[in-house]
Amino acid sequence: MFSLIGYYSLVFGLLFSFLIVLLSIKNFRDKNILNDKIISLTFFQLFFVIMSFLGLIASFINSDFSNETVFNHSHTTKPLFYKISGTWGNHEGSLLLWLLVLTLFIFIFLLRSKDQTKQYRILTLLFQQIIIIGFFIFIIKTSNPFNYIFPVPKEGLGLNPILQDPALAIHPPILYLGYVGSSIIFSSTLAATSLGYISREWAKHIKKWVLVSWIFLTFGILLGSIWAYYELGWGGFWFWDPVENVSLMPWLALTTLFHCILVLEKRLILTSWVIILSISTFALSMCGTFLVRSGILNSVHTFANDPERGLFILIFLFCLIFLALFIFFFFHRVQNKDTNSFFWLSKETSILINNWFMMYFLSVVLIGTVYPIFLEVLSSEKISVGPPFYNKLIIPFLIPFLFAMAIGPKLKWIKSNLENKLFLIIFFIISLFLSISITRNLNSSFLINTVLIASAFYLFLITLRDFVINKFKNLSQTIAHFGFSLLILSILLNNIFSTEIITNLKIGETFRSEKFNINFEKIEQQNKQNFRSITGKFNIKNSNGTSEVLNPELRIYNQPNIVTSEADIKMNMFTDKFMTMNLVQNQEHFNIRYQVKPFMIWIWISVMLISFGGIITFFKKKYEK
């Protein structure tokens, strides 16, 4: 019943897409006012997609195993919350969520852009409908979430246990709001380029959409990192996993785009940068969809293993990029050349320099992600690109990037000087002193760590000064930059001073080291709703006489029959104590992993500060003069 409603709602939504396109083309030249019927049709399109999505949710809640998607990703013993989140915890459901956000965003765009010209609004709608129609066809043809199974199975296969987590349940919808938000930026940019409407007014209008996408993408990445930290049992928040990189690349492009939009709003320059970055951001979001669903990536995040689906997305993406490049080369006209030249010491110059750094970081991540794929296709040789690759290529360039990020906001638009900037030198000396004090006892990489930490401290102290001196002036920029400096500093100190012990212990045994003893006291077993829990009790006695108890857990799920490891984390404002345990096959031992990780909570706080800096931009009453 619910599956039928969902499927036919999809079909009706596709029909409304064609009606919207026909009426929009007709209305493009007829009147100076946007036809109200277009907005009504867009609403009905959104309504039918919502009905389709609700139909899938209802099928999951009712454990309707006549639906193939529900059969593959649900089970009667699964808690209600994970039945609902299972709706988008699979390939078909996640694409339906993509489609829902696509239709929602274009409807909101039409309602919120009434002060813009009619032709611009209609052309944006047309470009967005091209994307929406592509997704409609993709879902109905290759990824139908309402396929019927007969005879109807009595029980489902269940959802992957590592996806049964609150953080990961809300991570995909928030991440998709960031991904799909880039489609509006893409469509709007193509419309503005086609009409020669790239202007300060347009920059002010589209800046809000860039910010919305950036904020949601930042929060989505944060939730994914928190989930990876405590759920996967690796004891870290970022592993340069290919699918992690897929979300990072559009974030880098969006961050660069936002800074270019600021320059465009002030001085009507960098228009080509804005157009190219708008296209690149959407292309990277779509490219991520292709990589995750084509089966060519090996990751815990991947949804599908179907080359046909990946090929469809790849062809569709190629067509969209070709259309975008055609519009860029044939319709974009560079503004007055005099406005494109600017003084070497100015805020716009610093933004341009930082843009080049960001594009370099983006290129490194892109190459590290796709190079193994091309190598395997060409030579059948499999390689894994891990942290050493990224550290060697990114860290040396991160140092000048942080210094530029610290000094750039202190410069003025058009032309600036460094008079009365003695504090920049004083803070550099203080930063260098702090860095040497911290790293003097390190045995290796003393020089690079000293300079890197000094650059992070420099940005941290400069932005901290801005809080005190400038108070509420440029508050959003100050908070975001302060959050970024805190993020880099926390990551560096975390990486340098983390300690780890990996050992095998039986119940009753004790591991001893200079800093602490780990006593494996006992295990407890319990039967839960859809898994059996084995919880260990470990007493950690530190060298300073303090002690604490950690209780890592093993979960043996009934459907699918998978064993997962749940970390126990003791967290305070300065240090995380992290422990996991795993079974050692055919032995009485348990593999124990104990980590002491300083400043972990500040990594999460810093990303929240970065996002908050973007959020308060919407509450600014006037722009910087």
Please tell me the distance from the alpha carbon of residue 492 to that of residue 479, in angstroms, as a whole number. Answer: 20
Please tell me the distance from the alpha carbon of residue 536 to that of residue 507, in angstroms, as a whole number. Answer: 9
Let me know if residue 293 belongs to a domain. Answer: no
Residue 420 has pLDDT above 70, yes or no: no
Let me know if residue 2 belongs to a domain. Answer: yes
pLDDT tens-digit map of 267-292? 888 889 999 999 999 999 888 776 76
Q: Which residue has the tokens 């911290």?
A: 438
Cβ(136)–Cβ(10) below 8 Å: yes
Query: Nearest to residue 330, comparing CAs of 194, 512, 172, 506?
Result: 194
Let me know if residue 67 belongs to a domain. Answer: yes
Q: Report the half-sphere exposure of 397 (CA within 13 A, side-chain side).
A: 17
Which domain-ending residue is among 142, 164, 186? 164
What's the token pair of residue 281? Answer: 């951001």
What's the token pair of residue 506? Answer: 């039986």
| CA quadruple 180, 484, 280, 28: dihedral sign | positive
Please tell me the distance from the alpha carbon of residue 555 to that of residue 525, in angstroms, as a whole number. Answer: 10
Cβ(45)–Cβ(103) below 8 Å: yes
Kindly report the average pLDDT of the chain as a whole number.
Answer: 86
**Secondary-structure breakdown of the chain: helix, strand, coil percentages, each rounded to the nearest 5:** 65, 10, 25
Mean local confidence (pLDDT), 104-116: 93
What's the token pair of residue 118? Answer: 């009619």
What's the token pair of residue 77? Answer: 């013993």
**Residue 166 carries which side chain, given as an amino acid letter?**
P
Let me know if residue 74 belongs to a domain. Answer: yes
Let me know if residue 137 belongs to a domain. Answer: yes
The domain total for the chain is 2
pLDDT tens-digit map of 467-486? 778 766 778 888 898 999 99
Residue 339 has pLDDT above 70, yes or no: no
Q: Where are the alpha helices (DSSP H) in 113-165?
A: 118-142
Sequence-ordered list of residues with C-beta below 8 angstroms from that of 572, at least 6 positions apart, any chain: 601
Q: Would you mind telling me the total number of residues written for the chain in this entry?
A: 625
Please tell me the distance from the alpha carbon of residue 94 to that of residue 176, in angstroms, as a whole number. Answer: 9
CA angle 78, 84, 86 (to 5 degrees): 75
9 φ, ψ (degrees, to nearest 5): -65, -40
Please tell me the distance from the alpha carbon of residue 220 to that of residue 247, in angstroms, as a whole number. Answer: 9
Cβ(118)–Cβ(32) below 8 Å: yes
Q: Round the CA-based radius of gyration of the chain to a whole number and report it.
A: 26
257 φ, ψ (degrees, to nearest 5): -60, -45
Each residue of 139-164: b (16+ CB within 10 Å) or e?
Answer: bbebbbbbeeeeeeeeebebbbbbbb
pLDDT band, residue 429 (cuts 50/70/90): very high
CA angle 354, 211, 345 (to 5 degrees): 25
pLDDT band, residue 233 (cuts 50/70/90): low
CA angle 10, 153, 526 (to 5 degrees): 110
pLDDT of residue 342: 67
Please tell me the distance from the alpha carbon of residue 539 to that of residue 525, in angstroms, as a whole number. Answer: 18
Task: Determine the distance from the C-alpha atom of residue 618 to the mean position of all C-alpha atoms in its chain, rounded to a whole number.
Answer: 21
Query: Nearest to residue 563, comparing CAs of 541, 584, 577?
Result: 584
Please tell me the distance from the alpha carbon of residue 242 to that of residue 366, in angstroms, as a whole number. Answer: 9
Please tell me the distance from the alpha carbon of residue 113 to that of residue 124, in angstroms, as a whole number. Answer: 11
Residue 2 lies in domain: 1-164
What's the token pair of residue 18? Answer: 């064609």
pLDDT of residue 477: 86
Sequence-ordered list of residues with C-beta below 8 angstroms from that of 617, at least 6 positions apart, any chain: 211, 476
Please tell me the distance from the alpha carbon of residue 131 to that of residue 463, in angstroms, as a whole number. Answer: 41
Query: Nearest to residue 67, comparing CAs of 148, 140, 6, 142?
Result: 148
Please tell me the distance from the alpha carbon of residue 458 to that of residue 434, in angstroms, as a whole number. Answer: 10
pLDDT of residue 366: 92
Segment (H or E) for 596: strand 590-598
Let me know if residue 540 belongs to a domain. Answer: yes
3-state helix/strand/coil string of 188-199: HHHHHHHHCCCC
pLDDT tens-digit map of 382-415? 777 888 899 899 999 999 999 998 888 888 777 7
Please tell me the distance from the alpha carbon of residue 465 to that of residue 459, in angstroms, as a whole number. Answer: 10
Which domain-ending residue is among 164, 197, 225? 164
Sequence-ordered list of residues with C-beta below 8 angstroms from that of 63, at least 6 positions apart, any chain: 70, 74, 75, 76, 83, 156
Eight-class DSSP state of 544: T
Give the least confident one: 147-151, 312-316, 389-393: 312-316
pLDDT tens-digit map of 161-211? 777 778 777 888 898 899 888 999 999 999 999 998 999 999 999 999 999
Please tell me the distance from the alpha carbon of residue 207 to that of residue 215, in angstroms, as a whole number. Answer: 12
Let me know if residue 17 belongs to a domain. Answer: yes
Identify the residue with better confidence: 187 or 370: 187
